[in-house]
Amino acid sequence: MKIGIIGGGSIGLLFASYLRNVFSVTVYTRTYEQAKEIIENGIILLNGIKQMRIPVHALPVDEWPGDEDLTIVAVKQYQLDEVIKKINNVDHSNKNFLFLQNGMGHLKLLSKLKAKNILVGSITHGAYKENANTVRHNGVGVVNLAVYHGDQSFLHYLESMLPTTFPATHHQDYYEMLLNKLIVNAVINPLTAILQVTNGELIKNPYYFKALNELFSEIAYILNLKKPEDELQKIINICQNTAENRSSMLKDIEGGRKTEVDSILGFLLEEAEKQEKKVPLVSSLNFLVKGKEIKREE
Amino acid sequence: MKIGIIGGGSIGLLFASYLRNVFSVTVYTRTYEQAKEIIENGIILLNGIKQMRIPVHALPVDEWPGDEDLTIVAVKQYQLDEVIKKINNVDHSNKNFLFLQNGMGHLKLLSKLKAKNILVGSITHGAYKENANTVRHNGVGVVNLAVYHGDQSFLHYLESMLPTTFPATHHQDYYEMLLNKLIVNAVINPLTAILQVTNGELIKNPYYFKALNELFSEIAYILNLKKPEDELQKIINICQNTAENRSSMLKDIEGGRKTEVDSILGFLLEEAEKQEKKVPLVSSLNFLVKGKEIKREE
């Protein structure tokens, strides 16, 4: 099977590294320079103490032919609009897609897409892009997969083909699957980004932990969670297990990049608005993160 | 008239510098070393481009005789409990007091005090303590004064005696006077301390400004403000006029000191609780500031 991966960020490079052994993979990068670097030197995968050089084909995304059986879209949610337009320029009604965006903001864009099967995924791997062709796999996790559109057979096939070192978990309900990750991200990401602290600090510092609880309560109220205590415990466990990590939103703020706040808190604000619920904490934290984004531009 | 000033911080030193020309002043400091420094070298007042050496008497606060006609209490609100106890050890029913704490948290402590006249003050001067005996007067303002207990005559006398370079403004309603300053502090201080930005950033950054508006709305709701738009405009003006300043709460966090959050947001939380109002933003911001306080201790 031929696979195209749109996006040469940490997740795109990670997927390319692991899928290269099983499939014919091409990575489509935003810049010509990155594609050239990957073609000439391969992708360097740093995995614990090992370092592997993995030859992978690459092209700038403008040259994407769109003829692969499966296209994995690994761009940020705020870059997705453009990619969907590109996809819809050509008939892809017998092709398959997998979308790996964080949050839930991308779902409304996917409804515009015509394809045979559309999968969505959420990743628990830790990955850090060290440079144009180097990715550090610094936390082994799992790829959660679910069908957004189409039937289960393609998902089952894909799942069965993935290497054991890069396993997938199959979920029946794509909405619930993405929501589970969104809840975690919506609590940990904004607080760590605003306070500029590691994940563990949110549970170690008793006052930060009280703020975490208040934010979680507002999110549980928006989403009408049936068992909020289970979800809260999951967040606490993740803070414990990733205590030394800096969240993706904190890293984006520190690195002067745009964050994914629109697809996380933005999604929750839309949900709250639909239900005419007042959510002052989510609203203000959204503004504080967006304010920090602006500050980086100065 | 003999005046004692309890507290050798920026406000204590500032008052001592200006009142020294009119009254007999003694500063009571927490440490013996600071008192010694002031006795030996005077207080150095940096006022714009001028530098003045002002001889002032000083003693450690443990040696406070409590025999002055007026005692000005210029310690932080969280140090006040101890000072009130010290005052109440001796009969002061024919003495006068002026309390200069920020916020409103100190009012319930003042009700325990027995004295002839109790004044409260709020200051719009900018003052920065450069070292044990040096204070920089970096923003000329005014001393707002009002009677908390007693009659107006002592206040009028004090007001008439103050030098024109250090004027007072007389207010009829002490509660309203302190509340006006509290509203400003409650909006500017926590946001600048959490975001670690200057006052001006809160109105220059459009997203921070939205968060400022949301926080102000919640405070207006707690305090049942009749003309919230006027109060909001005052906050905006102050952010403009002090755009380059770092708020006292931000400076306390940066300097690793305890903040006055209890007497500002803590007071608002108590007011909200009395009225059974939910105030998620004030509550969470209070936790975030207290979390930052804890962090400094590590």
Does residue B152 carry a pLDDT above 70? Answer: yes
Residues of chain A with pLDDT under 50: none
**pLDDT value at residue B141:** 87
Does residue B226 carry a pLDDT above 90? Answer: yes
Mutate to test the interface with A, among B202, B207, B209, B289 (most CBs of A within 10 A): B207
The chain A residue lying nearest B194, using CA atoms, is A195
Which residue in A211, A215, A291 is closest to B207 by CB distance?
A291
State whether B287 and A218 contact (CB < 8 Å): no
* Average confidence (pLDDT) over B56-62: 96
Set A181, A258, A278, A295: catalytic member: A181
Q: Are the C-beta atoms of A171 and A144 separated by less than 8 Å?
A: yes
* Average confidence (pLDDT) over B193-197: 97
**pLDDT value at residue A296:** 58
d(CA B146, CA B158): 11
Does residue B228 carry a pLDDT above 60? Answer: yes
d(CA A284, CA B216): 11
Q: To the nearest whole angstrom, how far is the Cα of B210 from the nearest Cα of chain A?
A: 7
3-class secondary structure, A82: helix
Does residue B138 carry a pLDDT above 90? Answer: no
**pLDDT value at residue B296:** 58
State whether A288 and B205 contact (CB < 8 Å): no
Contacts of B96 (CB under 8 A, 6+ apart): B69, B70, B71, B115, B116, B117, B118, B119, B150, B154
State whether B288 and A208 contact (CB < 8 Å): yes
pTM metric for this prediction: 0.88
Does residue B297 carry a pLDDT above 60? Answer: no
The chain A residue lying nearest B282, using CA atoms, is A281
Q: ipTM score here?
A: 0.87
State whether B208 and A284 contact (CB < 8 Å): no
Touching check for B211 and chain A: CB below 8 Å?
yes
pLDDT class of B105 with cuts at 50, 70, 90: confident
**pLDDT value at residue A298:** 55
d(CA A229, CA B60): 53
B70 φ/ψ angles, rounded to the nearest 5 degrees? -130, 130
Q: To the nearest whole angstrom, how far is the Cα of B194 from the nearest Cα of chain A?
A: 7
Q: To the nearest whole angstrom, how far is the Cα of B281 from the nearest Cα of chain A?
A: 6
Which residue has better confidence, B73 or A48? B73
State whether B205 and A295 contact (CB < 8 Å): yes
**pLDDT value at residue A216:** 98
* Average confidence (pLDDT) over B20-28: 96
d(CA A151, CA A158): 13
**pLDDT value at residue B34:** 98
Chain Cα centroid distance, residue A253: 16
d(CA A212, CA A235): 10
State which H helix or E strand residue B73 sits in: strand B70-73
pLDDT class of B298 with cuts at 50, 70, 90: low
pLDDT class of B126 with cuts at 50, 70, 90: confident
Which residue has better confidence, B242 or A272? A272
Touching check for A56 and chain B: CB below 8 Å?
no
Does the active-site annotation cover A181? yes
Largest CA distance in chain A: 55
- Residue B183's closest CA among B206, B158, B208, B216? B216
* Average confidence (pLDDT) over B141-168: 94
Does residue B262 carry a pLDDT above 90? Answer: yes
> Which pairs from A113-117 meet CB under 8 Å and 24+ separation?
A113/A84, A113/A87, A113/A88, A113/A149, A114/A88, A115/A87, A115/A149, A115/A150, A116/A92, A116/A150, A116/A154, A117/A147, A117/A149, A117/A150, A117/A151, A117/A154, A117/A155
Q: Which residues 122-161 of A have a C-beta within 8 angstroms of B?
A: none
* Average confidence (pLDDT) over B36-58: 95
Within 8 A of B283 by CB-CB distance, chain A residues are 214
Touching check for A67 and chain B: CB below 8 Å?
no
Helices in A97-205 by DSSP H: which ranges?
107-110, 152-161, 174-195, 201-204
* Average confidence (pLDDT) over B223-230: 96
